[in-house]
Chains A and B, each alone.
Chain A
Amino acid sequence: MTATGWIFMLTSWTVITSVLALCLFWTFKPRKGGGGPAAG
């Protein structure tokens, strides 16, 4: 695997995983008024 191959793979993985982590954090973040993922 070439150096650019590693860069492409690790960058793609990092970007996707970070965005997913942020999205999940915001989704599960407790909100005023008892919101959060369980509240429909």
Chain B
Amino acid sequence: MAKEQWSGRLGVILAVAGSAIGLGNFLRFPGVAAANGGGAFMIPYFVAILLLGLPLMWVEWTIGRFGGGFGHSTAPGAFHTMWNKNRFIKYFGVIGIFGPIVIYIYYVYIESWLLGYSFFALAGKFPGAKGGVSDFLTQYTGGESGLHFSNLGTAYGFFLATFIVNIAVVYFGIRGGIERVCKIAMPLLLVMAVVLVVRVFTLGTPNPAQPDNNVINGLGFLWNPDWSVLMNDQAWKTLTSAGVPFQERLGSLPYVLNAKVWLAAAGQVFFTLSVGIGAILTYASYLKKNDDVALSGLTSATANEFAEVVLGGSIVIPAAFAFFGAAATAQFAKGGTFDLGFLAMPMVLNHMPGGEFFGFLWFFLLFLAGITSSISLSQPALAFLEDEFNLSRRESVILFAIVTFILCHASVLGGMPVIGELDFWASNFCLVVFALVEAILFAWVFGMDRAWTELHAGSDIRIPRFYRFVLKYVTPLLLIVILGGWAWQELVPTLTLKGDPPDVKMGKTLSRILLVLMFAILCFLVWAVWRRRAREEQAALAPASPDASSEGL
């Protein structure tokens, strides 16, 4: 069957940008930036974009297009094509299908909350106080029965609707489904975000009795640099009290840098650009051999940064600050994505004139950002079924829908312990491992000269030669440091579930069993496909048997 292709460059850029732009841009970024030094955080953040994000973006686009040229739209086939002498590399590629499926099975559920919340906003259903909003979320997700929701029924209804929409979009394929939706959703998302930014910037000082609580100070909360956070304060103070001159203290800066902030920046860049998941690799496989990847990769990454830094940083934090002040906003930021999105914003909207309309805009914007990401997460599994098992689009989508519908119930019924565990392994651990495999394969196995030529095939821009060095040494080394640093500090407590209460331990253990089973099944499928292919190749090379000849006669 003929391989699908994008209708044009705009379609693939919007689809990749749609995959990258998600909750991380509007909720995770402002929280992480505010908690890690504000404006000062932007230094490690931009360094991480230049040395990790962009190089990995180019690596993933290039590997995807290269694999697509050989009929492989997923990582096992693409990796095997790049290193066909190694019989194990295709199993590393399994992460590029496994990771997206795992993220998909909790992401679609959270996406359904956003759809639900957009309707609740329109109906003016959010309670006023923080306790009330928190209870609202707990009852909505089935944590307890109460005034707002007596059971999981409403949440399940919105989950079903969201799941059906996701499946319907991918059913129509790359051009008719994914590309068409992204071409509508992305401009719509941009317009909605701009309307919200204008609304927040015109809030001024909502309560004249508290003049410090205003939008400008809210922006300051996010952007005023706190240099002490960038450095290990204690080490810096020790050097100062020992009378070490400033210049010499600067010379020892690498030793006093606060590693946590740099890791937070690297983590945010990974998360936001969607590199290391496998979805971009699959999207890029639908390009033609000489379609540009260098400029398209840069454009989609920059579009994501615009949505994150310019738009994402200008909505939730300044609005929360203007209504509730520094202390409450700091608490929300510390609580992370969920507190900012599902607690702070409903409270802000309750205080805002026209809150119903703007609440709908906010949550529907997040829903659109979510759906353009979740459809990209489903594509690697669908492409794997189509390419390697020769299933039709319809058959692949039906099989995928049945399996993921069952798996999604782990998130729906298991709640936060399960969601947290799936999120940790798929979008933190697997992401870095997969990116490291890609980076080494690209620069060291495929070879830098060949990789550089492949990256520039049909390219509309020349990437500075400095990036040859970055791609070969800096990016893989940084990934090893991130992975090694995590293993050194966190591996044992994470594996032993240190400090978790018994019920959370149970949820996490069951999630891990599920993850191991899923990974093993995918590895088995890859093994079976390659064994079948080897037999077919052998049969094609073997001389025709006398029996077969006589049958032919």
Residue of A23, A37, A40 near B302 (CB, 8 A) is A23
Interface string of B522-538 (1 = CB under 8 A from A): 00000000000000000
User: Chain B contacts of A12 at CB under 8 A?
Assistant: 42, 46, 309-310
* Distance to closest chain B CB from A13 (angstroms): 5
Q: Does B13 contact A (CB under 8 A)?
A: yes
Choose the segment among B1-9, B88-96, B147-155 that binds chain A (4+ C-beta atoms closer than 8 Å): B1-9
By the criterion CB–CB under 8 Å, are A20 and B7 in contact? no
Choose the segment among B162-170, B217-225, B376-384 that binds chain A (4+ C-beta atoms closer than 8 Å): B217-225
Could you say which interface size class chain A belongs to? Answer: 20 to 34
User: Chain A contacts of B288 at CB under 8 A?
Assistant: 40
- The complex places the Cα of A36 from the Cα of B13 at a distance, in Å, of 13
By the criterion CB–CB under 8 Å, are B309 and A37 in contact? no
**CB within 8 Å for A27 and B310 given contacts A4-B225, A5-B38, A20-B302:** no
**1-40 of chain A: CB within 8 A of chain B:** 1-2, 4-9, 12-13, 16-17, 19-20, 23-24, 26-27, 31, 36-40
User: Chain A contacts of B303 at CB under 8 A?
Assistant: 20, 23
By the criterion CB–CB under 8 Å, are B461 and A37 in contact? no
- The complex places the Cα of A37 from the Cα of B461 at a distance, in Å, of 14
Q: Does B233 contact A (CB under 8 A)?
A: no
Q: Which residue on B lies nearest to A39, using beta carbons?
A: B8
**CB within 8 Å for A26 and B9 given contacts A4-B224, A20-B302:** no
By the criterion CB–CB under 8 Å, are A17 and B306 in contact? yes
By the criterion CB–CB under 8 Å, are A5 and B302 in contact? no
Q: Which residue on A lies nearest to B49, using beta carbons?
A: A16
Q: Which residue on A lies nearest to B7, using beta carbons?
A: A40
User: Chain A contacts of B461 at CB under 8 A?
Assistant: 26
Q: Does B295 contact A (CB under 8 A)?
A: yes
User: Chain B contacts of A37 at CB under 8 A?
Assistant: 8-10
Residue of B6, B13, B306 near A40 (CB, 8 A) is B6
**CB within 8 Å for A8 and B223 given contacts A19-B302, A37-B9, A40-B8:** yes
Q: Which residue on A lies nearest to B297, using beta carbons?
A: A23
Residue of A13, A20, A39 near B299 (CB, 8 A) is A20
**CB within 8 Å for A27 and B8 given contacts A2-B220, A4-B39, A5-B38:** no
User: Chain A contacts of B42 at CB under 8 A?
Assistant: 8, 12
User: Chain B contacts of A20 at CB under 8 A?
Assistant: 299, 302-303, 305-306
By the criterion CB–CB under 8 Å, are B10 and A23 in contact? no
* Distance to closest chain B CB from A25 (angstroms): 10
By the criterion CB–CB under 8 Å, are A17 and B310 in contact? yes
Interface centre among A4, A6, A23, A38 (most CB of B within 10 A): A23
User: Chain B contacts of A40 at CB under 8 A?
Assistant: 5-9, 287-288, 291
* Distance to closest chain A CB from B438 (angstroms): 23
**1-35 of chain B: CB within 8 A of chain A:** 5-10, 13
By the criterion CB–CB under 8 Å, are B223 and A26 in contact? no
User: Chain B contacts of A5 at CB under 8 A?
Assistant: 38-39, 219-220, 223-225
By the criterion CB–CB under 8 Å, are B216 and A27 in contact? no
Q: Does B298 contact A (CB under 8 A)?
A: yes
Q: Which residue on A lies nearest to B302, using beta carbons?
A: A20
- The complex places the Cα of A9 from the Cα of B222 at a distance, in Å, of 9
**222-269 of chain B: CB within 8 A of chain A:** 222-225
- The complex places the Cα of A16 from the Cα of B302 at a distance, in Å, of 7
**407-445 of chain B: CB within 8 A of chain A:** none
**CB within 8 Å for A1 and B309 given contacts A27-B10, A38-B8:** no
**CB within 8 Å for A1 and B219 given contacts A16-B302, A16-B305, A27-B295:** yes
User: Chain A contacts of B299 at CB under 8 A?
Assistant: 20, 23-24, 27
- The complex places the Cα of A12 from the Cα of B314 at a distance, in Å, of 13
Q: Does B460 contact A (CB under 8 A)?
A: yes
User: Chain B contacts of A6 at CB under 8 A?
Assistant: 223
- The complex places the Cα of A6 from the Cα of B5 at a distance, in Å, of 44
* Distance to closest chain B CB from A29 (angstroms): 8
By the criterion CB–CB under 8 Å, are B302 and A38 in contact? no
Q: Does B296 contact A (CB under 8 A)?
A: yes
- The complex places the Cα of A6 from the Cα of B309 at a distance, in Å, of 14
User: Chain A contacts of B287 at CB under 8 A?
Assistant: 40
User: Chain B contacts of A31 at CB under 8 A?
Assistant: 460
Q: Which residue on B lies nearest to A23, using beta carbons?
A: B299
- The complex places the Cα of A5 from the Cα of B440 at a distance, in Å, of 39
* Distance to closest chain B CB from A11 (angstroms): 8
User: Chain A contacts of B38 at CB under 8 A?
Assistant: 5, 8
Residue of B5, B224, B305 near A1 (CB, 8 A) is B224
Residue of A16, A24, A39 near B309 (CB, 8 A) is A16
* Distance to closest chain A CB from B99 (angstroms): 28
In the complex, 24 of the A-B residue pairs with CB atoms within 8 angstroms, ordered by the A residue number, are A1-B216, A2-B220, A5-B38, A5-B39, A5-B220, A8-B223, A9-B39, A12-B46, A12-B309, A13-B310, A16-B306, A16-B309, A17-B310, A19-B298, A19-B302, A20-B306, A23-B299, A23-B302, A24-B299, A26-B460, A27-B13, A38-B7, A38-B9, A40-B8
Known: A27-B10, A38-B9. 7 other contacts (CB 8 A): A1-B216, A2-B220, A8-B39, A16-B309, A20-B303, A20-B305, A37-B10
Residues in chain A within 8 A of chain B (CB atoms): 1-2, 4-9, 12-13, 16-17, 19-20, 23-24, 26-27, 31, 36-40
Residues in chain B within 8 A of chain A (CB atoms): 5-10, 13, 38-40, 42, 46, 216-217, 219-220, 222-225, 287-288, 291, 295-296, 298-299, 302-303, 305-306, 309-310, 460-461
